[in-house]
Every structure is written in structure tokens, then in C-alpha cells.
Amino acid sequence: MKLKKLGAFAATGAMALALALTGCGSSNATSGSDAGSNGSDDVKVEKVDGSKEYALVKDGTLTVGTSAEYAPFEYKDDNGDYQGFDLELIKAIADKLGLDVEYVNNDFDTLVPGVASGAKYDVSIAAITNTPEREKEVAFSDSYYMDDQAIVTKVDNTDITADNYSEKLNNADATIIVQSGSTAEAFAQENFPKAKIVPYKDATECFSALQSDKGDAVVTNRSVASQLTAEQFNTCQTIKQISTGEEYAIAVNQGNTKLKDDINQAIKDLTDDGTVDALMAKYNIK
């Protein structure tokens, strides 16, 4: 796979199509509430190659924290079922580990602390960029996708363009909308320090705010901007993509080393057998 699609996978092998995935709504995947369990136990999970010990919130289940308002990576469909590239990937990983899956939906900025606590989630997957700041709280798996940042405005806004966006947005009169706790928020703060930065809890709220003229632009990841402007928010447009090479990875509790190692092996296996390529094609992720 080309670097722009999956940069970190250069270290984990080439891809060839083989495994057919079931969707997130299969019998051993369940949806969770907004609050995770408050306990953590050591359990043994029997695997084909022998037993492995993981510290799990719930015996035999991988409790997955996510923020399901970030299509095409994680979202709920019209029936309220969990869908998305990330959620199908973590389901395939859990299958490799012999675990059921329970999704717990919550605000994005709660996910890393929830994993770090060891009591809410075993892992979190939600287009989470591996950053030095987050590594102080959690461990990260090998990365599985590389993304960039994008500047989104309303279609009828002819004042801000790809040529002048830096000047237009970096002033005291500009309001930039971002997802709270995201790398887009950090990017906006660093690159547009004079602007007013307004965080919202998820991508859908960000785009709804822009559509309602509550800001001049949204800063978000390229893949999400592409999906949302093509489907739900066609009054908005991406005017600029900025190469930042952000690597998405799965957040794991720092003490859960065996779980992280087995997740990394599963990522490699799913890369080698073509599952990741198939999921990228399914969700039109480039």
C-alpha cells in the first residue's frame, strides 16, 4: 500500500486480499452505553496458539471506547448500529484474539483518559493520532492509517480560498470550529493563533455549526472532511488539504503489554491477508 494510505504499515508487511469480514453488528459484537464498567480483572483468553493473559474490563470481552460521530471511521447508521472502518477493524482484531466486542460510545476527549484508567475501556479506536502527549497516558499499537488536515468552509463563502486561507483565518475576526481534544484543535491553535478557536464534541456538531454560520471554517481530518462534505453537508467544501502525516493507532492501557503485542500481530495479519485494503475500499478511504 502506498505511504499516503497507510504509512506505518510499511513495517508490517505487504497486502493481499483474503479475509471476508462480517459487519460490526454480528452476534459477538454488542453496543455499549456511555459509561464503561468500573472494574478491571486479569483473565485468561484461550487462543489457538495457547493461552494469553490480558487485563480486561469484562471477562472474555474487548471493551472498546469510541466516538461514533466521525464517519467513515466510526458512526451509527440509521438503525443505530455501529459502523465504520475503525470499528470493523477492531472487530476483526478481537476475532483474532478470541474475544467478543462491546462498543462504548463517548465524547472523543474522554477516550484516552478512559483507557488510561484501566476501568472504562480496554482499548480505544476513534481515528486517534499517536502523539507524544497522549503517549504519556496510554500505549499505542502500530499505526493502521495515515491522514492529513483539511480546511472546510461553506460553498457560498468566496472570501476564504485555498490561496488566502492562512491570512483570512489567522486574525482576531475569524472563528474556527474544531473537535474538542483533537489534533485538528492543536493544529488550529498552532497555525491560527490570532483566531477564536471554538471546540465542539464531535465532527457532526462541528459541521452543523459551520452550516449554521457559527464559524468561518472547520479544521478537521482530510478523510472525514471528504466524507461529510460529500454526503451530509453538501453546503460545505474542502478548500485546502494540508499534509501532516498523522498516524492513527489503537490506544491501550500502558500496563496491558500482552494485549498490545497481540493487537500488533493481528494488525500485521489483517494487513498481510488484505483485510485492511478491503475495508479501505468499502469505506472509500484513500
Contacts 24+ apart (CB under 8 A), 156-163: 156/235, 157/216, 160/216, 160/217, 160/239, 161/239, 162/239, 162/240
Give residue 27's pLDDT band: very low, low, confident or very high (50, 70, 90): very low
Q: Rounded to a whole number, what is the distance in angstroms from the first to the last CA of the chain?
A: 10
The reported pLDDT for the residue numbered 52 is 59
The Cα 112–Cα 139 span in angstroms is: 10
DSSP per-residue letters across 248-267: E--EE-TT-HHHHHHHHHHH
The reported pLDDT for the residue numbered 50 is 37
The reported pLDDT for the residue numbered 20 is 37
The answer to whether residue 14 scores a pLDDT higher than 50 is: no
The answer to whether residue 26 scores a pLDDT higher than 50 is: no
pLDDT average, residue stretch 214-224:
96
Q: How many helical (H) and strand (E) elements, i.e. helices and strands, does the chain have?
A: 10, 16
In the chain, pLDDT over 90 holds for what percent of residues? 79
CA 233 centroid distance within chain: 20
The answer to whether residue 269 scores a pLDDT higher than 90 is: yes
The Cα 126–Cα 115 span in angstroms is: 12
The reported pLDDT for the residue numbered 178 is 98
pTM of the model: 0.76
Give residue 169's pLDDT band: very low, low, confident or very high (50, 70, 90): very high
The answer to whether residue 21 scores a pLDDT higher than 50 is: no
The Cα 213–Cα 17 span in angstroms is: 44
Range in 10-24, 29-43, 51-65, 78-92 with the lowest mean pLDDT:
10-24
More confident residue, 32 or 241: 241
The Cα 104–Cα 92 span in angstroms is: 17
Nearest to 215 by CA among 150, 154, 164: 154
More confident residue, 201 or 40: 201
Query: Cβ distance 206 to 218 under 8 Å?
Result: yes
The answer to whether residue 245 scores a pLDDT higher than 70 is: yes
More confident residue, 3 or 187: 187
Pairing of strands 69-70, 74-76: antiparallel
Alpha carbon distances (Å) from 31 to 27, 70, 107, 157, 194: 11, 16, 15, 40, 41
Query: Cβ distance 76 to 204 under 8 Å?
Result: no
